[in-house]
Chain A
Amino acid sequence: MNDSSSPKKYLGQSVERIEDATLLRGAAPYTDDIPVPVGTLHAAILRSPHAHADILSIDVTAAEQRPGVHAVLTGRDIKALTEPFLIVLRVPLDQWSLAVDRVRFVGESVVVVIAEDRYLAEDALEYIDVKYRPIEAVIGTMDATKDGAPLVHEAAGTNVVSRRDFSYGEPEDAFAKADKIVELTIDYPRNSQTPLEGFVVVANYLPGDESYDILSNFQGPFTVHPVMSKALRCKGSQLRMRSPAYSGGGFGVKQAIFPYVVLMCVASRKVGRPVKWVEDRLEHLTAAIAAPNRVIEAKAAVMNDGKIIGLHFEQWDDYGAYLRPPMPGPLYRQHGIMTGAYDVPNMTIVNNLVMTNKTPSGMVRGFGGPQIYYSIERLVHTVAVELDMDHLEIIKKNLIPAGSFPYRAAAGALIDSGDYQQALEIAERDGKLEDLQERRDEMRAAGKLYGIGYAAVVEPAQSNMGYLSTINTVEERKKAGPKGGNVAIATVNIDPLGTVSVTADSLPQGQGHGTILSQIVADELGLTPQEIIVNMERDTQRDPWSIATGNYSSRFSSSTVVSAQKAAQRVRAKLARIAAQTLNVPAEEIDFVGGQVFAKGNPENTLRFSRVAGTTHWSPGELPTDMAPGVTETVTWSAPELEPPNDKDQINTSLTYGFVFDFCGLQVDRVTGEVRIDRYVTMHDSGEILNPLLADGQVYGAFAWGLGIALSEEFVYGGDGSFLSGTFADYLCPTAPEVPEPQILHMVSPSPFTPLGAKGIAEGNVMSTPVCIANAVADATGQRDLRLPLSPSKIMGLIDDDEPPAPTRAASEILVKSDAKGGRGVTGSGSARAPAAIQTVWDTLLDPVKLAAVIPGCHQLDLVGENNYTAEVSLGVGAVRGRFTADVRLADLDPPNSVVLSGGLHGPLGASSGMGKVTLTASGESTRIDYDYEVVVTGKVVAIGGRMLDGASRVLVEQFFRRLIAQIEGQNEAGNSAGSWLSRLLKILGVGR
């Protein structure tokens, strides 16, 4: 499949990366390392603590007065200066770069402060007073589809903002004549590969031509460029997007930077200075994006021999609070290949697009694949269980037959090449499946929970830019005009000294694209990769770009490389003609080896490569008459197979389709619930391999994230929408001790649709590994309904072995029992004994001055009405401390016996509301205080301190009573210097006052 004119010396070899010498020195300029214009200011963003609330008022006057602050922007400014973002659907889901009038998820941007430096900008956030009126939030995907559910966007009239039915083949017949119908419901969680470098934007408004110059780590796709320019009310050419050559990981996620690009453009325009914003980790985890969580009802129509004759999927894909372009890509990117690796001609699909009060969904590695393969491959395993057949046999019985490629799948994918049966044979043999099966028998005989899992996955690469139009009906598509293709661009340039440089449109995020381009160009021109300078920066005002430009859906290895090779071949052809003239031989006889250009039949008579190339600059008059001077060749390429969807709603969603077959053996620990992977084998047919070292690197990396998806990673929300995974202590990324080394196997079925024959390889394992592990856990435990991640606590719930009772807590003078109910709610009750008469205790509780001294962290307490106080308090959970305003009301007063306290706290770190009842009972000389409380907390404090919230509230309540007792004792001490034993004990411990 190779139309190159030169034998390959470097392509296909494990060439070391040209990027690494810079990266290993710590010398690679990432976006935050690049110098900014003089006078650049820094932005910090205040975010919503509520999942759903009306913004009643925003008071920024105090913040504007803070040192170093230049401006404070709210949704009102944004609404005046920008348009809402364009979306794929004709549904009113207005969305801006700051919340306008209403917040719809925890972490939504509400106010931006622009100041001299980031420290001062963050300081000023604490002086912004936002008043919210919380509205009931809807969090569960299926809850959002129910009648009467709170509406995320009232104007849309529903939370299911798109629903489409698809039918391929004769699905009714298939399900009618099936021997058995196997059903499974999947609830796939939210997660993300969370690049270690966050978003960085430097925006500079240039008043001369009213343009915006942006430096950011945006990774494409540039379909989003018009979304930004439309929002900014400028022409595309007035929005200059520059991306640096190095990025600290992308995985698709850095597509989601675009609302911040628009926000910082407005900020720069407002202050008349460049503005820089660097996302922090909490902001990233809370508010960047997640892969959509998805509920899937899957059904298979099966015959008793294990043949699957029909499939049905109804999907509810959860996009969170806003539908940000290019969403809902994950719901449709797999559409053509929804039958997976199987030859099933009959299928129905129902796609529902659901809005909830969670962080908007976005692009993450795999892009819809992990969700759909989790349901297909769990379903196939369930078919095996229900038919009491071997899982591997069911897979084999249904695989697309060898020799039928290119194969048109039911929903339209044109699978280019492959031999799935051979792949399985190699994997079984070289992966030593029999040994693993023996081990399973031995382990089970020894009473262990041991399972083997399988997964077969077709890995799509290079997306058809028209697939998302499948969401529209045939009539709507006709009106809008056809969309398809995927334009790739690369340039090869030679300077007057004969040195070669390459640029391309792939915006690499660490994969080593520069190295592969250098291999390709070096081979064509008879040079070494080290002699080729590759610059992967992109600048929309200086470099050619297209809507497909960017790094996503594994488009590099089947598209950008093609443009680069074609450009290098044009350069070679041009130089060959020049050399042919000098050497007086036909151009076809010219060869390029080792920096020399010569006639194949006469290698002694050579010209230096640099000399031939230099001629085009130094003496263009010597060139053949029809030849242009200089050497700059730019090639654009798009594969013809990427057609728009047809009238039957069939769509060839991608250009190439690789094949992945995984199996693994694992043990489930009966005591700890831990999953221990014994051996993992992953077989890949990714067409031609451009660089084996780098290809395996992609497999290892995808495998590690797949393992994280399977066992530990999830963005968790409380029932009210509070976000509970705001640190890397809550969102658990696998580390080296948890990630075993998988055995990687390869075979090569070159793609006939791309000149280098290479398919994608970087996404397969994020599709195969989660479900392969889940199938093995299902095999080990005999359980069918598994929800990822399979954490030890979840596994313990599945295997249902008896757990020893928890140790009892020693009783103390102050006893606080608390009970953290799922999410952010904390309830508790307890009692304390105060060494004073009941009336003294009562009077202390109701005296604002004394109460101020008792409330932990209280700076000031004011009586604002009868039995209504406001207080300024500083509180902290874990490493987070902040200032809050408290509003406390006393009700149901029954002096001196009982009182009900209610109210709430709000501040930049979050908000809480709660209620507590305090009952006093005289008991000899002292008073017994009983209390119970219920507090709900939301905002930053929960996202990063959720694990500690329960303990922290207990400590706060303990502190309150300790100080109350100390306060009362202080009053007593005038006449009783001895004090109580408790007071003395506290003093010894260093906490008494």
Chain B
Amino acid sequence: MSQPIENQKQQVNFTLNGREVGGSAEPRKLLSDFLRQEMALTGVHVSCEHGICGCCTVRIDGKAVRACLTLAVQVDGRRVDTVESLAHAGELSDLQKAFRKHHGLQCGYCTPGILMSVEAFLEISPKPNEEEIRDMLGGHICRCTGYTGMVRAIKEVVEQRNEPVPLIEV
């Protein structure tokens, strides 16, 4: 039987939502538990803890990753971003506003993970069509919305972000 590994905590230093932070974690501590319990980022939601539902998705060095399948000690020296990083200066991001406008969330439990996946996805694939959007959302489970509102929201954000910046005639 695995022996309890208390008193074997390891130091974990990383960049969390743009700030240098440090903490200590047992080697078996999940990143999801660590972010919630030690870093007080309760926007990281835990639902299936086996990597299917996507609620706990955060970005590690920019990539969308399941925090429930990652150990806290694995993020030492890396950059982690959570849903708490999205709103700037108190204002919701364009994606968050679009989710509100199109009723892309109900209970809101799956939402933080989905927002993080969408942001990572749009960096790699800035002009996806609906099929590609739905395919990407296939990595998440939402039980409330039927996905319609979030697909509309993402399509709108894609359009807005791809609008050409007007040139000023000289």
Contact = CB atoms under 8 A, between A and B. Distances in A.
Interface string B60-81: 0000000000000000000000
Contacts of A280: 49
B138 A17 contact: no
B141 A196 contact: yes
A768 interface: no
A24 B108 contact: yes
A817 B96 CA distance: 53
A194 B36 CA distance: 23
B48 A23 contact: no
Contact of A697 (B83, B103, B111, B138): B103
Contacts of A194: 143
A728 B42 contact: no
A113 interface: no
Nearest to A735: B138
Contact of A196 (B47, B83, B138, B139): B47
Interface in B16-55: 26, 28-29, 36, 41-50, 52-53, 55
A27 B43 contact: yes
Interface in A246-268: 246-251
B47 A24 contact: no
| Most chain A beta-carbon neighbours within 10 Å: one of B86, B100, B139, B151 | B100
Contact of B135 (A24, A28, A737, A879): A737
B149 interface: yes
Given A23-B108, A24-B108, A700-B145, A197 B140 contact: no
Contact of B145 (A32, A198, A697, A883): A697
The listed residue with most B CB atoms (<10 A of its CB), out of A16, A509, A697, is: A697
Contacts of A895: none
B44 A126 contact: no
A119 B28 contact: yes
A280 B49 CA distance: 8
Interface string B113-135: 00100000000000000010111
Using C-beta atoms within 8 Å of the partner chain, give the interface range for chain B: 35 or more
A26 B41 contact: yes
A32 B109 CA distance: 12
A24 B99 contact: yes
Contact of A249 (B82, B109, B135): B109
Tell me the interface secondary structure of chain B in the complex: loop
Given A21-B92, A25-B87, A512-B106, A739 B50 contact: no
Nearest to B131: A737
A693 B105 CA distance: 11
Given A281-B47, A701-B146, A736-B134, A16 B101 contact: yes
Contacts of B134: 736-737
B149 A26 contact: no
Interface residues of A, number: 64
Interface centre among B44, B52, B115 (most CB of A within 10 A): B52
A319 B1 CA distance: 38
Contacts of B112: 26
B12 interface: no
Interface string A10-54: 000000110111011111111011000000000000000000000
A27 to B, nearest CB: 7
Given A25-B86, A700-B145, A736 B107 contact: no
Given A25-B86, A700-B145, A694 B103 contact: yes
A204 interface: no
Nearest to A21: B92
A195 interface: yes
Q: Which of A196, A247, A248, A510 is packed against the most chain B CB atoms within 10 Å?
A: A196
A281 B50 contact: yes
CB-based closest 4 A-B pairs: A26-B43, A510-B107, A248-B109, A23-B108
Interface of A: 16-17, 19-21, 23-30, 32-33, 66-68, 119-120, 123, 126-127, 193-198, 246-251, 280-281, 509-512, 693-694, 696-697, 700-705, 727-729, 733, 735-739, 741, 879, 883, 944
8 contacts: A67-B4, A248-B107, A511-B106, A694-B103, A696-B103, A697-B103, A700-B145, A738-B138
